[in-house]
Amino acid sequence: MMNVVLLEPEMPSNTGNIGRTCVATQTRLHLIEPLGFKLNEKALKRAGLDYWDKLDVTVYSDYQDFLERNPDALGRMYFATTKAHKVYSDMKYETDCYLMFGKESAGIPEEILVENEDHCVRIPMWGDIRSLNLSNSVSIVLYEALRQHGFEEMELMGQLHQLHWKNK
């Protein structure tokens, strides 16, 4: 099972969208405080639709609390940042790795990135765009990690229902 880690997320709508993506991919969501919203906020639930109650989510008091409660994350955590030298699609992700994303206004603190430089990844962007939306970034990196493992246990085939139109 994959893990998405949000470090101090600020916008409930982004976190709600990410929660819905986590449910759709059977991914755990880890939220590291402080949060810029309350977990019972309407905007969070609206973005997560009726999936929020199906979400495997854990909240941590700070980054150290997260590390202490997830010792298996060490060495298997990838940090999404615009400051990385590696592109997210060039990384080889473990099936149960941790994908960390920072808060919308500032990203992941530089001291964390420096300590983990070999596991920092970036999403390529054109021009002087500062960054992508957080929920979009999570989707891009998470789906690449899942793709590398053949979308294990995920529904790969849809079904079209043939429609019959009557001539008027």
The pLDDT tens digits for 66-107 are 999 999 999 999 999 999 999 999 999 999 999 999 999 999
Give the model confidence (pLDDT) of 106-162 as tens digits: 999 999 999 999 999 999 999 888 889 999 999 999 999 999 999 888 778 888 876
Q: Is the pLDDT of residue 49 over 70?
A: no
Which segments are annotated as binding site? 102, 123, 131
The answer to whether the CB of 73 falls within 8 A of the CB of 28 is no
pLDDT band at 43 (very low <50, low <70, confident <90, very high): low
- Structurally, at CATH architecture level, domain 3-148 sits in 3-Layer(aba) Sandwich (3.40)
Which segments are annotated as binding site for S-adenosyl-L-methionine? 102, 123, 131
Q: What burial class does residue 134 get, using C-beta atoms within 10 Å of its C-beta: 0-12 exposed, 13-18 middle, 19+ buried?
A: buried
> Nearest 5°: CA angle at 142, between 45 and 92?
160
